[in-house]
Amino acid sequence: MRVTLLAFPWPMRPGTRTLGQSSRVVRVALAVSQNITWTLYKRRAMQWRMQVQRSLDAVLAALSDPTRRAILARLAQGEATVNELREPFSISQPAISRHIRVLAEAGLIAQRVEGTKRPCRLVEGSLSELDEYLEMLRKALHHNYRRLDRLLAKQQARKDRQT
pLDDT tens-digit map of 58-76:
899 999 999 999 999 999 9
Q: Report yes or no on 136 lying in a domain.
A: yes
Please name the residues in contact with 118: beta carbons below 8 A apart, sequence gap of 6 or more: 81, 82, 111, 112
Average pLDDT in the 40-55 region? 63
Count of domains for the chain: 3
Q: At what angle do helices 93-105 and 66-76 cross, to 10 degrees?
A: 80
Average pLDDT in the 7-31 region? 48
Q: In a 3-state reduction of DSSP, which class is residue 5?
A: coil
Give pLDDT, residue 26. 46
Q: Residue 11 pLDDT more than 60?
A: no
Q: Report yes or no on 36 lying in a domain.
A: yes
Q: Report yes or no on 3 lying in a domain.
A: no
- The DSSP bridge partners found for residue 111 are 120
Please name the residues in contact with 21: beta carbons below 8 A apart, sequence gap of 6 or more: 12
Domain that holds residue 143: 127-163
Question: Do both 75 and 120 map to the same domain?
Answer: yes
Give pLDDT, residue 128. 87
pTM exceeds 0.85 for this model: no
Helix ranges restricted to H, 10-127 = 22-63, 66-76, 82-86, 93-105
Please name the residues in contact with 23: beta carbons below 8 A apart, sequence gap of 6 or more: none
Question: Do both 73 and 113 map to the same domain?
Answer: yes
The residue length of the chain stands at 163
- Which range among 8-12, 15-19, 115-119 shows the weakest confidence by mean pLDDT? 8-12
Rounded Cα distance between 127 and 108, Å, is: 7
